[in-house]
Chains A and B, each alone.
Chain A
């Protein structure tokens, strides 16, 4: 009996302890000391949290500033907040008077919520609390150290903008806004991550991006109940359509011009604080083969390069499999002289072609991974070791044949031509190699067909992954890139409403320059 009573009492106490404070309790009080106590209770004794109390005005009114050291611009804080307050001659100014007549800051909001105050401070704002006022002013004083805008490492270009997104959220949104000055560009803000409170922005052009896709993106993001977002990669994994597919259904970019281009096509960009990678949805398969330079270059070069990318992807995914199939099943397809050369290289090698290819592919993947992770000075050593082991020693020792090394080398290089699909190409390579080893060319055809069926069944935010191939309008920008003046409309199924992209339907008239040239 006592035991039961004790247990019930214990549970009630625990409930009392864990009880979340009501919104009323989390409101700011008139008494400054109480507010400071509440803040200290919430934030603890962190060394970087600065709480500065002071007196100002002719009646020595008490006030306190709360900010996080390192997140604020100290000079701005002094000049825009402290100096005007210290120099004021007003008797006992209210929060409203301070905001409108004393502070020299542009972005000031008033709040009565303790949580909003703390959230603002943790985001780099400064909170000004006044004794006798149940409100506080949150002044934007963000000014932490940040990386400057540099050329993106993962998307180098020959022609086009050199700017890349940075880890700074506002810099990223500004870069996008600078490129698309349309008043229809919307940037809907939200905070995701219980612990990280990461700023996330959904950017799109109102009237171009389909409303159902916008709603779907927002729905998926708002439904997230996660503790942290350290990179857009976190968001990508939660919102993508086919998480188990080897093909990505969410695109990412490090370049503002690429993000702007995609937004202009009717896509939606997702920007998160702390990462230079911006997500764009919906993603189509063809998107991986399109680069920003395709639209900056002249039509013929762009089309040739695009065709080359398709060939490179086919090589990256199927070349080792083709080699295995030809050397173990279909030797009759190899011209005699080449057959003799390959036979000579395979003479005395201990492993079957498939095992040989598997060893080489794995060795290459290990070298690649090591090269990416290692510090740059050591990276070059890895390349030398890799080149020596894979290129020469393995062949000289008779472990693998030279044509296999050539095949893997060209496969490795081709894999980087379509960076978006490098991972999918690596998976396809392994699957097709296995199929080729079992069934030869029939196996490769089988895998290829399976790949096509899978790709055709994929969807990204309700848009079929193969859209560009099925709609004739988009075929102008599929295997070849037609002149810009022929592509009048935005891609089908992606854009909605204002689908007209260009009205100039031919090269602009040259005009009669004859008279002038004389």
Chain B
């Protein structure tokens, strides 16, 4: 009897452990459509979206690579999931969103708002928070149609491009996690990489060209490449990057080997005062000119030139952000952290306060390395 009881108990435990396991979603790998990128364009009718998915075209191992390595499927719907379901109805394989690497939103759609588009991607268990969010100046469909040479699947290529940018500075890319946290912070504006299409040697290429500025889920403007660099330097940190410096008697290209930034904020009478301090370590990449100058003179000129240039970049970016009324540096958030009570008093009027903010930028630049050679060919050697 005891034996039976034990056996029954074991069976019960086994059933309880197995049945609520929730692992019954079995899908053979060759029954899936592996989505590598999703594009969202505005639909023809207001309130509708055109959702495009780029799917890896999987061929048999022994067969030659197909000319078009991906497949584009699109559908229109009032929300993203409706469109995806519509695609699923026209596709014999299930859409597999786990491996999706980018969400491309066209500029026109971004101007209308992105919050409702991203809700599904945040909620659905198949999508990841590491997915890059990108704004395109042309329709997302056009971007996803381009076949690149080295990485034929556009979405994968784009993911690699953005990843490379984030190696310069984490501010140069925006994944779902960053976008979500920025959307939750009402005072802060979001800076998202912007891409476009360029023609090179008769074929279309994708180019990362500046950034889009998004305030309260709507795109309000665009930063140029220099302004994006100013934003990255002012927000910090920078792990690598290039700075073009023009000084008296010559010019140079400097590597930013390391740069960090800090911000202090305070309320001064009727306006916000923000102080950004940047500490950068630089090295010489290329020198042009400086005929007859000694190495020390050149270093001094370049150091001051770099400092001035960085101050100028940050200030220009700040001015542009004021024009957009977009707090891209997070001045409001910084003030909130240090003066939470005062912030509550001005929080409601922040949009009117921000453009009047006075920004002081102080940069400390140290030129520490001259590369493999010290003097340029036109410079005066050490005596």
Chain B residues closer than 8 Å to A388, beta-carbon distance: none
Given A336-B156, A347-B60, verify A439-B23 contact (CB < 8 Å): yes
* Contact, CB under 8 Å: A332 / B99: yes
Residues of A near B18 (CB, < 8 A) are 438-439, 446
- Name the A residues within 8 Å of B28 (CB-CB): 327-328, 346, 352-353
What are the interface flags for B27-62 relative to A under an 8 Å C-beta threshold, 1 for contact and 0 otherwise? 111101010100000000000000000001011111
Shortest C-beta distance, B70 to chain A (Å), equals 11
Complex Cα–Cα for A86 and B98 (A):
97
How far does the alpha carbon of A471 sit from the alpha carbon of B109 in the complex, in Å? 65
Q: How far is the CA of A447 from the CA of B58 in the complex (A)?
A: 33
Is B29 within 8 A of A331, CB to CB?
A: yes
- A396 within 8 Å of B (CB atoms): yes
Complex Cα–Cα for A332 and B29 (A)? 11
Q: How far is the CA of A446 from the CA of B34 in the complex (A)?
A: 29
Contact B27 A328 (CB under 8 A): yes
A342 & B29 in contact (Cβ 8 Å cutoff): yes
Q: List chain B residues, Cβ under 8 A from A353.
A: 28-29
Selected from A331, A345, A439, the residue in CB contact (under 8 A) with B96 is A331
Decide yes or no whether A339 CB sits under 8 A from chain B: yes
8 Å CB contact of A345 from B25, B27, B61: B61
Chain B residues within 8 Å of A339, by CB: 29, 34, 99
Chain A residues with CB under 8 Å of B17's CB are 446
Beta-carbon contact of A344 and B36 below 8 Å: no
Could you say which residues of chain B place their CB within 8 Å of the CB of A171? none
Q: Distance (Å) between the CB of A127 and the closest chain B CB?
A: 56
A93 at the interface (CB under 8 A from B): no
Closest CB-CB distance, A358 to chain B, in whole Å? 15
Is B126 at the interface (CB under 8 A from chain A)? yes
Min Cβ gap B62→A in Å is: 7
A344 and B59 alpha carbons, distance in the complex (Å):
5
Contacts of A347 in B (CB 8 A): 30, 58-61
- CB nearest neighbor in B for A353: B28
Q: Mark B136-169, 1 if CB is under 8 A from A, else 0.
A: 0000000000000000000010000000000000
A401 contacts the other chain (CB 8 A): yes
Chain B interfacial residues counted at CB < 8 A: 27
The answer to whether A329 and B60 touch (CB under 8 A), given A343-B32, A346-B30, A439-B18, is no
Q: Which residues of A contact B96 (CB under 8 A)?
A: 331
**CB-based contact A401/B27 at 8 Å:** no
Question: In residues 221-251 of chain A, which contact B (Cβ within 8 Å)?
Answer: none
Q: Contacts of A332 on B, CB cut-off 8 Å?
A: 98-99, 126
Partner of B23, one of A327, A329, A344: A329
The residue from A331, A348, A352, A440 contacting B60, defined by CB atoms under 8 A apart: A348
Q: CB of B171 within 8 A of chain A?
A: no
Question: How distant is A368 from chain B, measured CB to nearest CB, in Å?
Answer: 27
A344-B61, A439-B23 known, 16 other contacts, Cβ within 8 Å: A328-B28, A329-B25, A331-B99, A336-B101, A339-B99, A343-B30, A346-B28, A347-B30, A347-B59, A352-B28, A353-B29, A402-B61, A438-B18, A439-B24, A440-B23, A442-B23
> Can you report 15 residue pairs joining A to B where beta carbons are below 8 Å apart?
A327-B28, A329-B26, A331-B99, A336-B101, A340-B58, A342-B29, A343-B29, A343-B56, A344-B59, A346-B30, A347-B58, A352-B28, A398-B60, A446-B17, A446-B18
Listed in ascending order, the chain A residues whose CB lies under 8 Å from chain B are 327-329, 331-332, 336, 339-340, 342-349, 352-353, 395-396, 398, 401-402, 438-443, 446
Q: Which residues of B contact A (CB under 8 A)?
A: 17-18, 21-30, 32, 34, 36, 56, 58-62, 96, 98-99, 101, 126, 156
